[in-house]
Amino acid sequence: MTKILFICLGNICRSPMAEAIMKHLAAEAGRSDEFEIASAAVSEEEWGNPIYPPAAAILRQYGIPYDGQRIARQMKASDYEKYDLIIAMDEANIRGIRRIAGGDPDNKIRLLLDYAGEHRNVADPWYTRDFETAFDDILKGCRALLAALPRSKAQ
């Protein structure tokens, strides 16, 4: 079982999209049992808020199920122990994760698009309102992430 925690600033746009997309890709591949997938924020800005409506809309547009009941939460230090991979949407998130976790002693922190061979941030739709480009980046990263994780028997 690989436990994956996606992280962004507010946990209402990019990381919930990544959570939904990765769950969907794993399900399509018949690999849902191999993963535990969740998301959280580095900030406490949006704590308790649901997925942002335009992020939900683009998931619906592409036929990707998401949990309309889930609410944003901030990452806690114990998440670092719990999850195998802590996957950030941008470099600022990585600094936030390291602050919360007290560093990265087990080398668990990754930048999502590194899996796709692109060392850059996922496009942030918060100011641009461009949810399409964010979706494309996240889909590309999640496809590469799934391909990078060895197929294993469910535990």
Window contacting ligand 4NP (CB under 6 A); options: 6-14, 58-66, 76-84, 103-111: 6-14
Window contacting ligand 4NP (CB under 6 A); options: 12-20, 21-29, 58-66, 147-155: 12-20
Q: Which of 4, 10, 37, 139 binds ligand 4NP (CB under 6 A)?
A: 10
**Cβ of 115: how many Cβ atoms within 10 Å?**
19
* Stretch 124-143 residues interacting with ligand 4NP (CB under 6 A): 126
Taking the CA atoms of residue 100, residue 21, residue 154 and residue 39 in that order, the dihedral angle to the nearest 10 degrees is: 20
14 an active-site residue?
A: yes
Footprint of ligand 4NP (CB under 6 A)? 8-14, 45-46, 126
| Catalytic residue annotation | 8, 14, 124
